[in-house]
């Protein structure tokens, strides 16, 4: 598993999140976001995520916000 594959998975999760929950992302704490995201990962993906946590969270938030601004 590579960082790029985990990033792609985060983008997919972000698209689904934006469709299901919309602006609720603004109400979630950092811990809640991390819990939500990591629930989709296997152990190897989780290790990659934890090593790059800040960048991964930024990618998730950026993707959701872009989706929300398009709708």
What residue ranges do the domains of the chain occupy?
A: 3-70
Give the whole-angstrom CA distance, residue 70 versus residue 5.
25
Q: Is the pTM here over 0.85, yes or no?
A: yes
Residue 52, classed as helix, strand or coil, is coil
Q: What is the pLDDT along the chain (71 residues), one digit of tens a residue?
A: 799 999 999 999 999 998 988 888 778 899 999 999 999 999 999 999 999 999 999 999 999 999 999 87
- Answer for the pair 48, 6: CB distance below 8 angstroms, yes or no: yes
* pLDDT value of position 38: 93
């Amino acid at each position: 598993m590579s960082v790029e594959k985990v990033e792609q998975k985060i983008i997919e999760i972000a698209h689904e999140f934006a469709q299901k929950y919309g602006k609720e992302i603004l109400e979630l704490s950092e811990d809640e976001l991390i819990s939500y995201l990591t629930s989709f990962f296997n152990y190897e993906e989780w290790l990659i995520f934890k090593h790059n946590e800040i960048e991964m969270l930024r990618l998730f938030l950026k993707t959701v916000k872009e989706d929300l601004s398009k709708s």
